[in-house]
Chains A and B, each alone.
Chain A
Amino acid sequence: QAVVTQEPSLTVSPGGTVTLTCGSSTGAVTSGHYPFWFQQKPGQAPRTLIYDTSNKHSWTPARFSGSLLGGKAALTLSGAQPADEADYYCLLSYSGAWVFGGGTKLTVL
């Protein structure tokens, strides 16, 4: 089964910009992996921020955006707020199976 890699931890200053990435052991991440991005805060279920690479739900704050960047899926947060401190997970599709990345712990400090 494929391995999906994310930065274990990142720190961003309030109001700053940070990009989280999501790589695949099988090669470049493409739109065919239907990348998802989730935010999870302690004690809560995950919440979907981005689906199919760059699509947002109605509840997704405008400061979050998804893209493909350098062979990886990317989640960019522009204008970080303290409420954005959380764990972030990407999810990729592999011909019927899905694999989560290990998660990125984002600190806003």
Chain B
Amino acid sequence: QVHLVESGGGVVQPGRSLRLSCAASGLTFSKTGMHWVRQAPGKGLEWVADMSYDGSDKNYADSVKGRFTISRDNSKNTLYLQLTSLRTEDTAVYFCAKDGFEIWGQGTMVTVSS
């Protein structure tokens, strides 16, 4: 059975950084593209970024371009999202999802507050 488990969320001050992780199991991670999606409290879903199976292709939403970096370590079956220059509007639950969006993690909460 495929599982995605996010971690790394927490409370952070504006302007600081955080790294999120998404550990995958039950799938051939090295052959799977991956996405990050976020959801602010009480708001809708927002696609954040994606990365191809081998890391050669990355795409970002305009709202995070230049501040967030997606990466992966296929030897560890793990996807990452480096969040820098955080703003209060980045407060959200961050989900990782398998390419095709049929598998999602349960999310990790990031709160940006002074």
Interface residues on B, range: 20 to 34
* Chain B residues whose CB sits within 8 angstroms of the CB of A64 once the complex forms: none
The distance from the CB of B54 to the nearest CB of chain A, in whole angstroms, is 16
Question: Complex formed: what's the CA distance from A36 to B34 in Å?
Answer: 16
Q: What is the minimal beta-carbon distance from B56 to any residue of chain A, in angstroms?
A: 13
| Interface residue total, chain A, C-beta cutoff 8 A | 21
A100 engages B46 (CB within 8 Å): yes
> Which residues of B (44-73) have their CB < 8 Å from a CB of A?
44-47, 50, 57, 59-62
A51 touches B45 (CB 8 A): no
A96: chain B residues at CB < 8 Å are 57, 59
Q: Which residues of A contact B (CB under 8 A)?
A: 1, 36, 38, 40, 45-48, 51, 57, 87, 89, 91, 96-103
Closest 5 CB pairs of A and B: A98-B47, A45-B104, A103-B44, A96-B59, A100-B45
Which residues of B approach A to under 8 Å, CB–CB?
35, 37, 44-47, 50, 57, 59-62, 95, 100-102, 104-107
